Amino acid sequence: MPSVITGFHHVTLNVTDLERSRRFYQALPGFVLDQDVPGYKLRFRVGTDAARLVLVPQLAGTPEGDRFTERRIGLDHLALGVPSRAELEELLVVLRGIGAQTSGIQMDRAGESAMIAFRDPDNIQWEFFEQPRA
């Protein structure tokens, strides 16, 4: 049976501050703001495919001071591929420039790929993974 899945269309994240998140994600290369509905949502094209990242304000009833943690059932982290170590090094400069929490370039647990893990303003973990094109 052929697959009808073409990939991720979008990921939606609840954030505590849309403007703070806008500044963070607009500073990342490859994140292009393509929809802005003030006070309601921001949408970014991510990378060269059709994937989108949608940011929306936190839902009513969210506890005051709540922050993301991967220690709950649900999302652990999001990872994006980049074509080479050189791009990882450039991304690290950008991440440090915007004050993102990161330990720099490291090897993944299998020791196969270089990567950068970092946190967004709401503590959601992202990773840029070296993923050379075949």
Residue 64 lies in a domain: no
On whether residue 107 sits in a domain, the answer given is yes
- Asked whether residue 133 falls in the same domain as residue 102, the answer is yes
Residue 2: pLDDT band with limits 50, 70, 90: low
Residue 129, in any domain of the structure: yes
Strand extents, DSSP E, the chain: 10-15, 31-37, 41-46, 52-57, 78-82, 101-107, 114-119, 125-130
Confirm whether pTM is higher than 0.95.
Answer: no
Residues 83 and 123 in one domain: yes
Range of the domain at 18: 7-59
| CATH code assigned at 134 | 3.10.180.10
Burial class of 118 by CB neighbour count within 10 A (0 to 12, 13 to 18, 19+): buried
Quote the number of domains for the chain.
2
Judge whether residue 126 has pLDDT over 90: yes
pLDDT tens per residue across span 14-68: 999 999 999 999 999 999 999 999 888 999 999 877 789 999 998 899 898 888 8
